[in-house]
Amino acid sequence: MKLLKFFTLLLFSILASLAFAAPKSVTIGLDNANSPPYFYHGANKILGTNIRRIETAFRRLGVDVKWKLIKTNQLEKALTKNQVDFIYPANIAVLQNKNHKNQNIFYFSKPVQTTNFVFYQLASSNKPEPITKLKIGVMHFANTNINNKLKKKQYDNSQKILEDLQKNKIDIALVNTNTGNYLIQHILNGNTPIVINPRLPTVKIVYELATKKYKTLIADLNKIIDADATKHS
């Protein structure tokens, strides 16, 4: 009887380990916007610092990553219909809304990246404040972090936001600090100086992975994220 019980427990433990075993590969739905240096599209390849971090974390678990470009408003649908295993960045989806009807079935990684977005304006700008009177250019994945009552124009490209700012098509531009400074220094025409508005707040954006399955895989990824954070602290 004891021997039978032992083999029964052994069988259940084997089945459980198989059920939670990491897959050989996962497909991640990626926002089709460009946000260098974090994620952007090269010649038939997905590039960026966060892309490397994600692929490295999965590789440590023996999992290959395949990327699938998806429009922002289609990411959650792709995830719920099991067309992809994860979506990234997850902060752009309504999944973070606490009132979301499916909130309890989704799992999130710890932040892959927390970055600062700041408001840029023309150095010569004398536009009136408060901010409610200004037309804001904003990347669409950061849109959920901005008050819906403000006047906003959504973009898929940070360079286009700053170019429109130079052309006075918008009053201020909400752009990632690193991306904005790089574009201003190396890409944009310097004849129309752009500066950071010192009076408007910095907006923190959190980049995460989200899935509705592979709960154990998310937990393992979080351990890697914690270890990397400790190593670089």
CA distance 176 to 111: 16
**pTM for the model:** 0.72
Tell me the residue type at 181.
N
Q: Are residues 221 and 106 in the same domain?
A: yes
3: in domain: no
Domain coverage including residue 224: 9-112+208-231
The token pair that represents 161 in the structure block? 């936001």
- Looking at the structure, do residues 106 and 14 belong to the same domain, yes or no? yes
Report d(CA 158, CA 20) in Å as an integer. 40
pLDDT, tens digit only, all 233 positions of the chain: 544 444 444 444 444 443 456 789 999 999 887 777 788 887 788 898 889 999 999 999 999 999 999 987 788 889 989 999 999 988 655 554 555 555 567 888 988 888 889 999 999 887 667 788 889 998 876 766 667 778 889 887 888 999 999 999 999 999 989 889 888 988 887 778 999 998 888 988 888 899 988 999 999 999 998 887 677 55
Number of structural domains the chain divides into? 2
Q: Which of 103, 69, 91, 210 is nearest to 146 (CA)?
A: 91
- The verdict on 54 and 168 lying in the same domain is no
Structure tokens at 33: 């916007």
190 falls within a domain: yes
Whether residue 40 is contained in a domain is answered as yes
Shared domain for 60 and 80, answered yes or no, is yes
Structural contact between residues 83 and 188, judged by C-beta atoms closer than 8 angstroms: no
User: Are 142 and 29 members of one domain?
Assistant: no
Looking up residue 118, the CATH number of its domain turns out to be 3.40.190.10
Residues 101 and 140 in one domain: no
Closest to 165 measured CA to CA, from 201, 122, 204, 227: 122
Distance CA 143, CA 158 (A): 13
Distance separating alpha carbons of residues 89 and 206, to the nearest angstrom: 8
